Amino acid sequence: MIRTALIATLLLSACAAPPRAARPDAPQGTFVERSVEVAGATHRYRVFVPAAAAPRPVVLFLHGSGERGDDNRAQLEVGLGPHVRAHAATFPAIVVFPQSPAGSSWRGTSAQVALAALEAATAEFGGDRDRTYLTGISRGGYGTWEIALAEPDRFAAVVPVCGGLTPPPARPDLHVAPVAGDADPFAAAAARLRGTPAWLFHGGRDDLVPPEQSRRMAAALEAAGGEVRYTEFPDANHNSWAPAYATPDLWPWLFAQRRRP
C-alpha cells in the first residue's frame, strides 16, 4: 500500500534528532578508493567502509548528471555521500560510489561498471548479498530503475530519489531503456519489479523531473501488488535528496529488507 507523506523540509529538519557525537576513541568508517577493469578500461570508484563488523549491508549509490566525470570525487559531494560522511561513525553499511563519464547515463558500460564495483566491494569488505540495496538521485534515480530492471533478483530493496521512467520536458535524454518501447512503461516496470520493496522520494515543486514520474510509478507498483512507499516533500524542488536521506524511518526500513527467493 502506498504511504504518502507530505512533509515540509523545514519541519523535517527541525524534528529530526541530531546525530550523536562520536567518542574520540570510537572507530570511524572511512572512504577508500578502488578500481575495476571493464571493457578493457580501468574505472575508479569510491567505497565507504563502515566500522560495523561483517557481514555488512551494502548500498549502491548512483549519482546525478552534475557529478559525471572522471575525478572520482564529485559523486561523493551530492546526495548520499554527505549524509554518510556526517554519520561516518554509525552508518552501518558499505556504500559503493561509482562515477559515470561525462555525457553518459546509467546503462551500457556505466551500468556494467557500477555492478562490477558492487561485486568487488561486496567481496573485499564482507558485504551481505542478501541485504544489498540500490538508490540514486535524478539521473541516478532513472538509473535505479534501469539497473533494477536489468538485475531484478540482485537487490533487496530500491530507493529512487527524484527519478522516473519517461523523459521529462527539461531532459528529453532521460528514460529507462528496458521499458521505453512499452505502451505503459510504468505498468511494465511495476510488473517486473513488484517483488522488490521500493521507497520513492520526490519534491513537490521539482521543475526538472516532475513529481508525476514518481507518483505514477508508486501507483503502478501498488496496482501490481508490490510493497511500495512514496514520500513527497511539498516545498522541495529537485534537490529532494537531502530530506530523503535524512528521513528517520528510511534506514531502519531499508536495512530490515532481505532479498527474497
Give the pLDDT confidence score for residue 27 in this predicted structure.
Answer: 60
**What value does the mean pLDDT take over residues 199-217?**
98
Q: Which of 239, 165, 247 is nearest to 202 (CA)?
A: 239
- Lowest average pLDDT, out of 15-24, 25-34, 61-70, 80-89, goes to 15-24
Tell me how far apart the 2 most distant CA atoms of the chain are, in Å. 57
**What value does the mean pLDDT take over residues 211-218?**
98
* Residue 242 or 28, more confident: 242
DSSP state at residue 182 = S
Round the average pLDDT of the chain to a whole number and report it: 91
List pLDDT tens digits, range 109-120.
999 999 999 999
List pLDDT tens digits, range 236-246.
999 999 999 99
- In CATH, the number for domain 4-13+29-256 is 3.40.50.1820
| Residue 258: other Cβ atoms inside 10 A | 13
User: Which cell numbers in the block locate residue 180?
Assistant: 521505453
Task: Give yes or no for residue 6 having a pLDDT over 50.
Answer: no
CA 151 to chain centroid, in Å, comes to: 15
| Residue 183 one-letter amino acid | A
List pLDDT tens digits, range 118-149.
999 999 999 999 999 999 999 999 999 999 99
Give the pLDDT confidence score for residue 13 in this predicted structure.
Answer: 34
Task: Give yes or no for residue 46 having a pLDDT over 70.
Answer: yes
With the C-alpha atoms ordered 213, 138, 29, 47, is the resulting torsion angle positive or negative? positive
What is the pTM for the complete model shown?
0.90
DSSP state at residue 76 = G
User: Which cell numbers in the block locate residue 172?
Assistant: 528529453
CA 219 to CA 187: how far, in whole Å? 9
Q: What confidence category does residue 23 fall into, taking pLDDT thresholds of 50, 70 and 90? A: very low
Element spanning 29, H or E: none
What radius of gyration do the chain's Cα atoms show? 17
Give the pLDDT confidence score for residue 20 in this predicted structure.
Answer: 40
Q: What confidence category does residue 17 fall into, taking pLDDT thresholds of 50, 70 and 90? A: very low
DSSP state at residue 217 = H
Per-residue burial over 107-143, b = 16 or more CB atoms within 10 Å of its CB, e = otherwise: beebbbbbbbbbbbbbeebebbeebbbbbbbbbbbbb
List pLDDT tens digits, range 59-83.
999 999 999 999 999 999 999 999 9
Q: Sort residue 69 into left (φ over 0), alpha (ψ -120 to 50) or beta.
A: left
